[in-house]
Amino acid sequence: ANGWAVVSTNANNAYGANYGTSMACPAVTGSLSLMYERYRQLHAGVDPGSDLMKALVCNTAEDLGKAGPDYTFGFGMLNARRAVEAIESNRYFINAIANGGTASETINVPANTKQLKVMLYWADTAAAPNAATSLVNDLDLTVKEPSAIFHRPMVLNPSPLNVNDAAHEGEDHINNIEQVIINNPAAGNYTINISGFSVPYGPQQYIIAYELVAASVTVEYPFGGETMVPGEIENIRWSAYGDEANTFTIEYSTNNGANWTTINNNVAATARTFAWTVPATITNNALVRVSRNGSSLTGNSNADFIILGRPTVTATNECEGAVQLNWAAVTGASSYNILQLTGDSMKVIGNTSSNTFLVKGLNKNVAAWLGVAAKNGAFSGRRSVSVSAVPNSGSCTLIAFNNDLKVDSILSPNTARKYFAAENNAMAPVTVSVKNLGSVPVTGPINISYSYGGAPITETVNTTILAGGSYSYTFSGLYPVISSGYKYNFKCWVTLAADANHLNDTAYKTVKFIKNNPVTVMPVTEDFETMPDADFTKAEMAIGENSFFDFSASTASGRARTFVNTGFARSGNRSLTLDQSPYSATTTTVDSLTLNYNLISYAANQLRFDFYYFNHGQAKNSNNKIWIRGSETDSWVEAYDLFINQGELGQWKHGH
């Protein structure tokens, strides 16, 4: 796949071009993911084998370099469309063969076929260390034409002086992937033969994939469904077979093919891409057509695509929790969709015919990512580059903020651990801070409510909250305190008849009273196996409901994880890692995991703390250490230097 100057997301929320397998590999991975998805749709959710997927992507690839496989381009450039079509058309066989065995399949090749490609692939048994050859099970492929002519796989000369030679037919006893290529095959039935030349570890499952390449022109991009922007350059891409000496004509239509406009009528016969400046026409019925001059070979986009301008957006903080978006009018736009990042997707949160939009109800402590997309009637253009804002300031002078009360925060109770000095914080009455965001005073009665999972408690307050002012209120109604510990999800809200903005009326807070009973049995072993597969990105006590562990970080990028993927754990499935998300090359984050054990029963004993840690190749830092203290009031004492004592890459090390 292409790995040269690929534009993608970059560090620190930027875009940029990058090079190499770092860019090619994601394209292959994403394409294979779509192939897996399509296979599952056609096979009741069953996953295909990786051997089938490999055979299909290799056999449907667009040949590059010298004809057939070569040492520079392998089997060619990935073509995910053709690979998916091979899945949909069942152009493959799955079978197994034993030593000395034979098997065959018959396929029909229709007239006007430009090329037949047949591939054999098997996931071979691993060779012994230092074996003379890495191939263990050796299968052979031949293809017989209707005229009884046999074809063997394309093989290369591995001699250093001959690696640039073109592939030729021959026997292959080196590779576990073989491909037969027949150009301009005659119509009729072809027999695919497989033999188990040497299968010491059998029977060996194998895949046969076949591709029938017709004389044709196929527009690969724009395929359909894309959104393009007037004035931008798009690379039209196509594949073509037949009449190879003839040039191409490229055209576009803005009315679903009723009329065509010529882009260029003399594109080189060897070209497969063309840089096109998108016209300033507003449409959702655009098509591109590529035709081979002097022949009937032609192809156009599989479906319509959209041409519509893209807004350029700026964001300003208007008030706590509110951001105003501004953009210039887009030609042809009848309205604009407003989008916000929710989870991992940009979701539509509003629509306007104006060139401004006030986004309210945002968390004042969290960066909001917002974007705008122009609409023309029912269809939408490409979304703007998103803008980010932390809505923690602003003059709040807009009329929209008058009589706007928000629950700014739930001040108490707060999470605490039993037997610690602050344990009473988890039993304190509910106290909230209510803020008037407007530029005029708000006078009661004001209803303030809270719930903790039980019956809601509502109390009425007769007070005046000045413009931009805050008011703290402590409820007289209490929640039940459970001495053995609890976890309540507090919800608090304010109700004012004149308040038209309800997006910021409510605040939430999880409060834990963490049990901290004395340890009475030694040793205490923690392998994290009882914890959920979870990411922790906010400071939290008793993460994953494990009463012993607290997490904190010095920036919003800090993260603790109990599961990354298989292979991280020393045993079982769980381990605990500390890192950044998203990663920043310029911001240093200090992650901390604090372990809390009530060891009052062992106050007179010597205790030993053992642990295992793994070197994942992370950057070394002199502050990577473990500290210990006897109680929450004692000073921390350095117990172990992870920086000095780091193990070898990929190795667990035992510390104590």
Please name which of 115, 135, 113, 114 lies closest in space to residue 125, comparing C-alpha atoms.
Answer: 135
The Cα-based distances of 20 to 68, 80, 613, 630 in angstroms read: 23, 20, 33, 52
CA separation for the pair 325, 28 (Å, rounded):
37
Angstrom distances, CA of residue 527 to CA of 317, 542, 568: 46, 15, 12
Q: What is the pLDDT of residue 609?
A: 93
Token pair 């979701």 is at which residue? 347
Task: Look up tokens 């000045």; give the residue.
Answer: 466
According to the model, what pLDDT value does residue 65 have? 93
- 325-373 pLDDT tens trace: 999 999 999 999 999 999 889 999 999 999 999 999 999 988 999 999 9
Q: What is the pLDDT of residue 586?
A: 80
Is residue 649 packed enough to be buried (19+ CB in 10 Å), middle (13-18) or exposed (0-12)? Answer: exposed
End-to-end Cα spacing for the chain: 48
What is the C-alpha separation between 55 and 51, in angstroms, rounded?
Answer: 6
C-alpha span between 181 and 612 (Å, rounded):
55
3-state secondary structure at position 71: coil
Residues of the chain scoring pLDDT < 50:
none
Using the structure block, give the residue that is written with the tokens 């381009």. Answer: 73
CA triple 326-278-7, angle to 5 deg: 70
Q: Is 256 left (phi over 0), alpha (psi -120 to 50) or beta?
A: left
Q: DSSP characters for 191-223? A: EEEEEEEE-SS-SEEEEEEEEEEESEEEEEES-
pTM score: 0.81
pLDDT at res. 10: 85
**DSSP output for 464-522:** EE-TT-EEEEE-SS-PPP-TT-EEEEEEEEEE-TT----TTSEEEEEEEEE--PPP-SS
With beta carbons less than 8 A apart as the criterion, state whether 142 and 150 touch. Answer: yes
Q: Check if the beta carbon of residue 462 is closer than 8 Å to that of residue 511.
A: no
> In what helix (H) or strand (E) does residue 51 lie, and over which residues does it extend?
helix 50-59
List, in sequence order, every beta strand (DSSP E) within 396-484. 405-412, 416-417, 431-436, 442-443, 446-451, 457-461, 464-465, 470-474
Query: What pLDDT, on a 0 to 100 scale, did the predictor assign at position 647?
Result: 87
Query: What does the pLDDT read at residue 646?
Result: 87
- What per-residue confidence (pLDDT) applies to 622? 87
- Tell me the DSSP string of 309-343: ----EEEEEEETTEEEEEEPPPTT-SEEEEEEEET
77 DSSP 8-state letter = B
Q: Tell me which residue of 145, 165, 178 sits closest to 71, measured CA to CA.
A: 165
Radius of gyration of the chain measured on its C-alpha atoms? 33
Give the integer Cα–Cα distance in Å for 28 and 17. Answer: 18
Structure tokens at 88: 């949909």
Closest CA relative to residue 227, chosen from 157, 146, 149, 309: 309
